[in-house]
Amino acid sequence: MSSRPPVHRARKRFGQNFLRDPGIISRIVRAIAPRSGQRLVEIGPGQGALTEPLLEAAGALDVIELDRDLIPGLRVQFFNYPEFTVHEGDALKFDFSELKGDGPALRVVGNLPYNISTPLIFHLLAQRGAVADMHFMLQKEVVERLAAEPGGADWGRLSIMAQYHCQVDSLFIVPPEAFIPRPKVDSAIVRLVPHETLPAQAADEALFADIVREAFAQRRKTLRNNLKGRVSAETLEALGIDPARRPQTLTVAEMVSIANHLAGATQ
């Protein structure tokens, strides 16, 4: 059991919307399926709506909270859990690899504010060796981009980079009325599981990331135009890729093939 936290007014600058719906909370926890002995990390616990059931299931939890006014309430609320650890700070700067240490890979969860969701996912992908899986609540449009398929309007840099590193599954929608205050958009739960073996291996992952970024710099332009400083139309054709295609039609494997050609050409 835990004590109730003091009343806290949600802050716009932190993008705070506190989850309140017990049915949604239960469904999220079932999707995560926490177990004793696992290393769970919650980003932005807020007032502990997910924290309590996660702690009850796993017995231990690390939380990362930026809003220092929430931290005393969390420590009071979960004082009787000796394996509850609060890290005050910015998740965008947090060293997840150091937290893992020699222990089991981290299971990362969180209700992420819109303004940090994409950079935080990239931050975690860069430390994917420390991560077993991730379950996030995000704006629905971000989840649609993460889980998109090539050729659609949602397919882009985020889709390719996430799916290069992880299996991505959109789980379910969370309506605005599940929160206080109500956001103006739907949210959704997404699961990201780092691949044990990459389906397509980039020889130089930094170069691959650069090529993806440049390819999507202007979505309406063709690959010939967006990558003209990197690769010729003739080379794209030799790789089996029509230079007149737009970037949103390329698969992860095709992007990797372009990057690998360039990596080989510079060695």
Which residue numbers belong to the known binding site for S-adenosyl-L-methionine?
Answer: 17, 19, 44, 65, 90, 111
DSSP assignment string, 26-57: HHHHHHH---TT-EEEEE--TTTTTHHHHHHH
Nearest to 213 by CA among 203, 224, 198, 226: 226
Distance CA 70, CA 44 (A): 10
Residue 46 near residue 14 (C-beta atoms within 8 A): no
Residue with tokens 């969390």: 74
Cis peptide before 181 (omega within 30 of 0): yes
Phi, psi at 95, each rounded to 5°: -95, 95
Binding region:
17, 19, 44, 65, 90, 111
